[in-house]
Amino acid sequence: MFFKDSYDVIVVGGGPSGSTAARYAARNGADVLLVEKRQEIGSPVRCGEGVSMEIFKHVDIKPDSSWFVNQVTGARIFGPSGKFILIDAKKAGDEVGAVIERDNFDKYLATEAARAGAEIATKTSVVALNRDGGEITGVRVRRMGEEKDVSAKLVIGADGFESQIARWSGFNTNLKTRDTTSNLQYRMTNLDLDPRFTDFYIGSVAPGGYVWIFPKSREVANVGIGLLLSKIKGPSEAKDYLDAFIENDIRFKNASIMETVSGGVSVSAPLDKVTADRIMLVGDAARMIDPLTGGGISNGVIAGKVCGEVAAEAVKAQDFSDEFLQRYEKGWRELLEEKLYRDYMAKEKLVSLDDVALDKLIEVMSAVRLENLSTKEILTAIRSKYPELVKEFEDLI
């Protein structure tokens, strides 16, 4: 195998969260191995590829044309009757701000990690967490039919929705069915869309979730669906609902599918604890996805930076105790936790509304002028006109 027997830090998972953690750990002096089981970083894409512009404020990421393909000016949210509200991208804190090419974006982030000094191993699976008398000592990896133990003082679990590292190290990452979504997406071409907007369709077209159209250009867009697992009754519903949506929309009449993407997305509250002795979790593995939008790139990258920095501090101090790693716990929660909880509660309420109530909500929102797009702001604005509609949401204001 190409790598050494021992590192300060092993990061499991070469997605945005893992690459960012590896980058900031290496940049600050740690000896880092980043392990990715797929044969190619970023591919196949498992994502709608919408990101908020928020990410660029927190992390040193320079948009380049290989992945930053379409900055949108707004998001449109369509109610069941077809009425929509337009959200100005500039005001929409965590909403979609741009559509990217995830495969190239992930490679860009991995390249930054490599430049900072991290070693990257692809087509290499972590198959076990090694321990000595209970203490984590590294991981067992498998690569091209060979297995090997690699030791590390600190392991970072950035292994996404599947989150084996978390489960092997004793975290309870089990999701409730109402906190899990099943997703399917087609990358479609030969469309004729307005590329200035990302579109969201809520209501019974996508029980407990939404349909999205994220354009890369006038001609090409990601068209996908997420359904809440608790609302799914049988097999293949994500596909059946998405196919029905496309079938019923004239815009897709002449379109073809270039790529099919599927995956699971958590829409839960974040884990209560994402650290233990010698281990930290980050990104989807730590259930950091925004539960209202299902977007996880930004949060994973923002937390990944804090995670990497704290990993390097731990190496400097040679202290890998849970107590020391609270710096990470505190750091990422300061940046993300409040919004995650607020959006979780908003999601919980939204999924309880039927088509009639959702239409009313859209109607009210299009009537009130919003200066800022935050759950709180929206609810306050609605309350001023229709207090009875937000009565249930009162605790979020």
Partner 1 sequence: MIELNDDKCMHCGACVGACPANAIYLNEVILDFNDDCTDCGLCVRACPVGALSLIRTRGLKVPAVTA
Q: Give me the residues that bind partner 1 (CB under 8 A), please.
A: 37-39, 46, 123, 125, 160-164, 167, 174-175, 177, 180, 182-184, 229-239, 260-264, 266
Q: How far is the CB of 145 from partner 1 (least distance, A)?
A: 12
Q: Which residues bind ligand FAD (CB under 6 A)?
A: 12-18, 35-38, 46-51, 125-126, 158-162, 164, 183, 185, 224, 261, 263, 265, 283-284, 289, 294-298, 300
Please give the Cα distance from 10 to 119 (Å, whole number). Answer: 10
Given ligand FAD, partner 1, none, residue 15, with its beta carbon under 5 to 8 Å by kind, binds: ligand FAD
Report angle CA 29, 34, 38 to the nearest 5 degrees. Answer: 165
From 25, 10, 243, 5, select the one nearest 113 (Cα to Cα): 25
Q: What does DSSP assign to residue 133?
A: T
* 17 vs 180, beta carbon nearer ligand FAD: 17
Q: Does residue 234 come out as left (phi exceeding 0), alpha (psi in the -120 to 50 range) or beta?
A: beta
Given partner 1, ligand FAD, none, residue 266, with its beta carbon under 5 to 8 Å by kind, binds: partner 1
Given partner 1, ligand FAD, none, residue 39, with its beta carbon under 5 to 8 Å by kind, binds: partner 1
Q: How far is the CB of 169 from ligand FAD (least distance, A)?
A: 12
User: Which residues, in sequence order, are bridge partners of residue 265?
Assistant: 181
Please give the Cα distance from 215 to 195 (Å, whole number). Answer: 5
* 39 vs 65, beta carbon nearer ligand FAD: 39
Q: How far is the CB of 347 from partner 1 (least distance, A)?
A: 17
* 13 vs 203, beta carbon nearer ligand FAD: 13
* 125 vs 293, beta carbon nearer partner 1: 125
* 16 vs 195, beta carbon nearer ligand FAD: 16
* 99 vs 232, beta carbon nearer partner 1: 232
Given partner 1, ligand FAD, none, residue 36, with its beta carbon under 5 to 8 Å by kind, binds: ligand FAD
The b/e string for 364-386 (b: 16+ C-beta within 10 A; e otherwise) is: bbeebebeebbbebbbebbbeeb
CA 344, distance to chain mean position in Å, is: 14
- Angle, helices 16-27/102-115, rounded to nearest 10 degrees: 20
Tokens of 358: 């959702």
Q: How far is the CB of 142 from ligand FAD (least distance, A)?
A: 9
What are the strands of the beta sheet with 98-100, ordered from one edge?
A: 50-51, 98-100, 68-71
Q: How far is the CB of 72 from partner 1 (least distance, A)?
A: 25
325 to each of 30, 237, 277, 303, 384, how far by Cα in Å? 15, 41, 8, 13, 44
Given partner 1, ligand FAD, none, residue 229, with its beta carbon under 5 to 8 Å by kind, binds: partner 1
Q: Is 389 helix (H, G, I), strand (E, B) or coil?
A: helix
Q: How far is the CB of 365 from partner 1 (least distance, A)?
A: 29
Q: How far is the CB of 164 from partner 1 (least distance, A)?
A: 7
